[in-house]
Amino acid sequence: MTPDKILLHKKSRQLELTYGDQNYRLDAEYLRVHSPSAEVRGHHGQGGQLPFGKKQVAITHIEAAGNYALHIVFDDGHDSGIYTWDYLHDLCVNKETHWQKYLDDLHQQGKSRDPDTQIVRLM
């Protein structure tokens, strides 16, 4: 589903997507940790790495990738994810579920959203 309007709010680090009368704001961190890139998702769904320490990441640039996707460039240098319109819509409508799974995965791996925090587990 192609959005009707796309706005990048650099100060709040949010991407705003409008679909008809539905409006969504996605934080840069949320988009970065859910990048469809091979680095994050792996090749064919295997081998990806869980991004962590991305709480302060920002979007520096967005542009259309043909008529089917959005190319998002982040200030941590990540620029290889192509977000299809369907994937962006899924990130919008299932935001709570995706975000909670990410937080659960972080906890399970002993990682933090904050780049300045290291978690030590005592056995």
Q: What is the value of pTM for the model shown?
A: 0.92
- In SS3 terms, 7-51 reads as EEECCCCEEEEEECCEEEEEEHHHHHHCCCCHHHHEECCEECCCC
CB-CB contact of 13 with 27 (8 Å):
yes
Residue pLDDT, tens place only, 32-77: 999 999 889 887 767 789 999 999 999 999 999 999 999 999 999 9
